[in-house]
Chain A
Amino acid sequence: DIVMTQSPLSLPVTPGEPASISCRASQSLLHRTGRKYLDWYLQKPGQSPQLLIYLGSIRASGVPDRFSGSGSGTEFTLKISRVEAEDVGIYYCLQTLQPPLTFGGGTKVEIK
Chain B
Amino acid sequence: QVQLMQSGAEVKKPGASVKVSCKASGYIFSDYSLHWVRQTPGQGLEWLGRINPNTDTTDSAQKFQGRVTMTKDTSITTAYMQLSGLTSDDTALYYCARSSEGTWYAFDYWGQGSLVTVSS
Task: Name the interface residues of A61-98: CB closer than 8 Å to any CB of B.
Answer: 61, 92, 94, 96
Majority-rule SS of A interface residues: loop
CB nearest to B93 among chain A residues: A48
Interface size counted on chain A using CB atoms at 8 A? 21
Query: Which of A49, A51, A101, A103 meets B104, CB within 8 Å?
Result: A101
Given contacts A48-B111, A92-B45, is CB(A99)–CB(B61) below 8 Å?
yes
How many interface residues does chain B have, given as a range?
20 to 34
Q: For B63, what are the chain A residues with a Cβ–Cβ distance below 8 Å?
A: 100
Most buried by A among B47, B59, B61: B47
**Shortest beta-carbon distance, B79 to chain A, in Å?**
16
Q: Are A100 and B61 neighbours in the complex by a CB distance under 8 Å? A: yes
Q: Are B95 and A48 neighbours in the complex by a CB distance under 8 Å? A: yes
Q: For B105, what are the chain A residues with a Cβ–Cβ distance below 8 Å?
A: 37, 39, 54-55, 96
Q: Hey, which bits of chain B sit against chain A, CB under 8 A? A: 35, 37, 44-47, 49, 59, 61-63, 95, 97, 104-108, 110-113
Q: Hey, which bits of chain A sit against chain B, CB under 8 A? A: 37, 39, 41, 48-51, 54-55, 60-61, 92, 94, 96, 99-103, 105-106
